[in-house]
């Protein structure tokens, strides 16, 4: 772990094994941090932030760029550790390190946007605002993209003059141990701290710590709600949440079925086993193209090459952990029990190489009804559900009939249909005739239970500041 600029073990002296989900082999271990380590990290962060803020925006921006350069120097090592520790396939994971570096550079470039306003509140006096950092920011990271979230999603807080305490995911924290070394060398002591450990052991004390005013969380709805409760019980805090999705891809009748099939595959993010908050896991097909799309999709899903995440030819790897694997299988069993029609996958792939490890075939369910659990609950796995609609109203009703509202994708050649649907879906991030990419500077985040707040744009940086209002009485 990194606390106050030093690489340390946990106070308890305990460790957590990190398991390669493709083989179930122990490939490393991480300190099992607890409330004592959290307290030390918050104290170190609290000592560091004022000086960090004091060096000014240009110097902070340069430090963030240096952080990015050091990440690039160790990109291959970060990539390999991340792939073996998460089970995500190697070729697309290259993008994660790059996104981390780009995040550092993007917020460094926004340095001079940390500005206030002058406000004409009265004719004779001067009224203006400045933006100040909160001080210590907690950043809690999920297991699907640990390096990317620990870097791209701390850059804004750091640029705004805060120090951070990062809590990586306990099943995939090995890359954070490399980041500890990078941060130690790139930033002043205490500005960037990393405390590994479990959610209950390290995450909860971090949320509750009175020295942490600002909490930024990416993870499940359940944990997000627990964090809001814990935060509210301990102090008045600013909490932002990036949570789950059960995202619709709505395909209109004028779209070529082959295009819809490509989009459905791309939208599922099989490269990381569907473990993506933005995955379009509900495919809403107009009845006139339904059968053609489903027939083609079954073939394509069966052809997805599942295999060793380190093999660049693999198109899908292993589920992140035993806990997650059991959850995915439970969702599949529930769908079958509720009467959804299993069209592809549904179990473990066959073959000697899949005897050990947390493997699930890419899975497709047809005849899914909105009342079924598979239509409502986020699987966070490689499971796609197909639903049918005949009118626009019906499509929108289905699309909006969950508690979640993160992303949506609309495929339509008629621009009026496309915009009518895009405007009516209750989702924070909408693609029209594309699916999946996050675009630079575009605010990302969810409506309804998918979260509060927006990240990835300038709003994220400003969300790590509070305004101070100055009123200068002019005596002449």
| Residues in touch with ligand NAD (CB under 6 A) | 140-144, 167, 169-170, 198-200, 203-204, 207, 218-220, 223, 226-227, 242-245, 277, 378, 380, 406, 446, 451
Calpha distance 232→208 (Å, rounded): 9
Give the residue among 57, 6, 173, 217 at the shortest CA–CA distance from 65.
57
Q: List, in sequence order, every beta strand (DSSP E) within 66-197.
A: 126-133, 136-140, 163-167, 192-194
Smallest gap from Cβ 192 to ligand NAD, in A, equals 17
Give the C-alpha separation, 307 to 311, whole Å: 7
| Spatial separation of the C-alpha atoms in residues 65 and 180, rounded to whole Å | 16
Supply the residues annotated as catalytic. 242
* Shortest CB 242 distance to ligand NAD, Å: 3
Buried b (16+ CB within 10 A) or exposed e, 275-306: bbbbbbbbbbbbeebbeebbebbbebbeebeb
Q: How far is the CB of 152 from ligand NAD (least distance, A)?
A: 11
Residues forming a β-bridge with 429? 407
In the bound complex, what is the minimum distance in angstroms from residue 470's beta carbon to ligand NAD?
A: 36
- Least distance (Å) from ligand NAD to the CB of residue 244? 3
Minimum distance, C-beta of residue 145 to ligand NAD, in the bound complex (Å) = 7
Question: Closer CB to ligand NAD, residue 68 or residue 274?
Answer: 274
Query: Of the candidates 391, 380, 95, 366, which has an alpha carbon nearest to the alpha carbon of residue 220?
Result: 380
The three-state secondary structure class of 453 is coil
**Residue 126 or 266 having the CB closest to ligand NAD:** 266
Rounded Cα distance between 9 and 443, Å, is 37
- Residue 469's SS3 state is strand
Interstrand relation of 2-3 and 6-7 (parallel, antiparallel or unpaired): antiparallel
Q: Which two tokens stand for residue 294?
A: 């489903």
Please name every residue paired with 29 in a beta bridge, in sequence order, or none if there are none.
17
> What length does the chain have?
476
């Amino acid at each position: 772990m990194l606390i106050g600029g030093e690489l340390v073990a946990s106070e308890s002296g305990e460790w957590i094994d990190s398991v390669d989900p493709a083989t179930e082999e122990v490939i490393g271990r991480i300190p099992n941090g607890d409330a004592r380590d959290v307290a030390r990290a918050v104290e170190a962060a609290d000592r560091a932030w004022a000086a960090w803020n004091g060096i000014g925006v240009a110097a902070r921006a340069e430090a963030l760029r240096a952080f990015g350069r050091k990440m690039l120097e160790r990109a291959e090592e970060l990539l390999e550790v991340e792939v073996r520790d998460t089970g995500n396939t190697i070729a697309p994971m290259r993008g994660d390190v790059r996104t981390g570096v780009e995040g550092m550079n993007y917020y460094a470039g926004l340095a001079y946007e940390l500005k206030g306003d002058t406000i004409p509140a009265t004719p004779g006096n001067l009224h203006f605002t400045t933006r100040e950092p909160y001080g210590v920011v907690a950043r809690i990271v999920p297991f699907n993209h640990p390096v990317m979230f620990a870097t791209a999603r701390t850059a804004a807080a750091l640029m705004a003059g805060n120090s951070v305490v990062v809590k990586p995911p306990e099943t995939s924290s090995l890359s954070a141990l490399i980041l500890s070394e990078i941060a130690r060398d790139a930033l002043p002591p205490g500005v960037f701290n990393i405390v590994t450990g479990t959610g209950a052991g390290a995450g909860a004390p971090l949320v509750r710590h009175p020295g942490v005013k600002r909490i930024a969380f990416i993870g499940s709805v359940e944990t997000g709600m627990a964090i809001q409760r814990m935060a509210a019980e301990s102090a008045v805090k600013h909490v932002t949440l990036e949570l789950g999705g059960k995202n619709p891809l709505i395909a209109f009748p004028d779209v070529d079925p082959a295009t819809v099939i490509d989009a459905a595959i791309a939208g599922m993010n099989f490269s990381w086993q569907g473990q993506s908050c933005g995955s379009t896991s509900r495919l809403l097909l107009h009845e006139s193209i339904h059968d053609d799309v489903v027939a083609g999709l079954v073939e394509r899903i069966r052809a997805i090459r599942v295999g060793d995440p380190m093999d660049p030819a693999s198109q899908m790897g292993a589920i992140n952990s035993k806990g997650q694997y059991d959850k995915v299988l439970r969702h599949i069993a529930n769908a079958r029990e509720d009467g959804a029609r299993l069209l592809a996958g549904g179990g473990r792939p066959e073959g000697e190489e899949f005897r050990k490890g947390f493997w699930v075939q890419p899975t497709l369910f047809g005849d899914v009804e909105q009342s079924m659990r598979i239509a409502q609950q986020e699987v966070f796995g490689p499971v796609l559900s197909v639903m049918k609609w005949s009118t626009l109203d019906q499509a929108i009703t289905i699309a909006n009939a969950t508690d979640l509202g993160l992303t949506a994708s609309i495929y339509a050649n008629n621009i009026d249909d496309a915009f009518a649907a895009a405007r009516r879906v209750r989702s924070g991030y909408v693609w029209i005739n594309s699916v999946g990419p996050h675009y630079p500077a575009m605010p990302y985040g969810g409506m309804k239970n998918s979260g509060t707040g927006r990240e990835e744009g300038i709003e994220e940086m400003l969300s790590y500041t509070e305004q101070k209002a100055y009123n200068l009485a002019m005596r002449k």
